[in-house]
């Protein structure tokens, strides 16, 4: 019989470390070619968007998908897992929390791999749920992290966020950009991070701007970057506004954009020196959702 997993059950068993381990394994399997992860499909509906993200992970033994509907009244997320071996529905997983944790887990995998040694400061643009998930995930992944500085245009929300998560409110917009690791987790349409603010050796984790017309990073970020990675070039060409914009203005070429799984398995080494500035643009992969959902289902079995 298929199992149905609620948000409350996900919260009981899924920690940042468990999510990070699942996503790391997903990157490895993507690099080995045992995972098929087609691009996300979106369809316009009245006042919203319907999306489907399919995936087949032959090593885990699941075919599945994440699906969601974005509407003014809310955005429900579900993951559906089919057992390849048994040819049957295995599980349906409520995935709002899971989706937040898997995105942050992917950033944590990147940070462990690409942040400069001893990274002690984290700057965050945004004070929503994804920003909160990133603070927790990166604190768990980076043992030397001592200080978290957050910027948000809404002062009331910023104050509440910092009080809840033990962060500092930025004195100005440039302060988070001067940290060792910089996260942009916003719904901004125009850049919130300027390349001139970045310190040598910074790692930028760009989470928002999943729209070809939106930007979180200005062109100077890419002019200063030694290496640019993403989770899927195919997906990035469709909806990663930061990369699409940088390529369109000539400061970046798609041939210069690497896929992160190649770094996870050591085929490329994006950081050649401590002072290198690196950028990771996250689009979000169904492969991560499937891997994390499989771990949740296993923990509850």
pLDDT cut 70: percent of the chain above it: 100
Q: Dihedral angle at the C-alpha atoms of 176, 182, 185, 189, nearest 10 degrees? A: 80
What pLDDT was estimated at residue 96?
Answer: 97
- Indicate yes or no: pTM above 0.75: yes
Q: How far apart are the first and last CA of the chain?
A: 12
Mean pLDDT of 88-114: 98
pLDDT tens string 12-38: 999 999 999 999 999 999 999 999 999
Calculate the average pLDDT of the chain. Answer: 97
pLDDT tens string 112-146: 999 999 999 999 999 999 999 999 999 999 999 99
Sorting pLDDT into bands at 50, 70 and 90, what band is 209? Answer: confident
Q: Using DSSP, how many helices (H) and how many strands (E) does the chain show?
A: 10, 15
Q: Under a CB-based contact definition with an 8 Å cutoff, are residues 103 and 282 in contact? A: yes
Sorting pLDDT into bands at 50, 70 and 90, what band is 245? Answer: very high
Domains annotated on the chain, with CATH: 3-99+286-300 (3.30.1780.10), 110-281 (3.40.50.720)
Mean pLDDT of 164-183: 98
**At CB < 8 A and 24+ separation, what contacts does 272-277 make?**
272/226, 273/226, 274/116, 274/117, 274/200, 274/201, 275/200, 275/201, 276/201, 276/226, 276/227, 277/198, 277/200, 277/201, 277/202, 277/203, 277/204, 277/221, 277/224, 277/225, 277/226
pLDDT tens string 220-237: 999 999 999 999 999 999
Q: If residue 262 lies in a helix (H) or strand (E), which one and from where to where?
A: helix 260-264
What pLDDT was estimated at residue 1?
Answer: 86
Residue with tokens 């070039």: 233
């Amino acid at each position: 019989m298929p199992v149905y997993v609620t948000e409350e059950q996900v919260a009981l068993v899924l920690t940042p470390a468990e999510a990070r381990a699942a996503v790391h394994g997903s990157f490895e399997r993507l690099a080995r070619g045992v995972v098929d992860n087609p691009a996300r499909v979106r369809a316009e509906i009245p006042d919203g968007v319907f999306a489907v993200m399919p995936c087949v992970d032959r090593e885990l033994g699941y075919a599945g998908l994440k699906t969601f509907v974005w509407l003014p009244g809310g955005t429900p997320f579900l993951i559906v897992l089919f057992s390849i071996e048994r040819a049957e529905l295995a599980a349906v997983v409520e995935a709002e929390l899971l989706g937040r944790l898997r995105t942050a887990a992917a950033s944590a995998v990147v940070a462990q791999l690409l942040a400069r040694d001893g990274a002690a400061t984290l700057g965050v643009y945004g004070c929503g749920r994804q920003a909160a998930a990133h603070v927790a995930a990166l604190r768990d992944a980076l043992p030397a992290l001592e200080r978290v500085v957050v910027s948000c245009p809404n002062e009331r929300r910023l104050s509440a966020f910092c009080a809840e998560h033990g962060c500092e409110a930025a004195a100005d917009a440039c302060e988070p950009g001067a940290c060792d690791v910089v996260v942009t987790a916003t719904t901004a349409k125009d850049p919130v991070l300027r390349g001139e603010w970045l310190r040598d050796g910074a790692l930028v984790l760009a989470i928002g701007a999943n729209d070809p017309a939106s930007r979180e990073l200005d062109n100077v970020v890419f002019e200063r970057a030694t290496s640019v990675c993403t989770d899927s070039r195919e997906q990035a060409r469709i909806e990663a506004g930061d990369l699409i914009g940088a390529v369109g203005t000539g400061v970046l070429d798609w041939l210069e954009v690497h896929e992160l799984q190649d770094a996870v398995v050591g085929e490329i080494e994006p950081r050649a020196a401590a002072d290198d500035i690196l950028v990771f643009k996250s689009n979000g992969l169904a492969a991560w959702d499937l891997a994390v959902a499989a771990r949740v289902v296993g923990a509850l079995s």
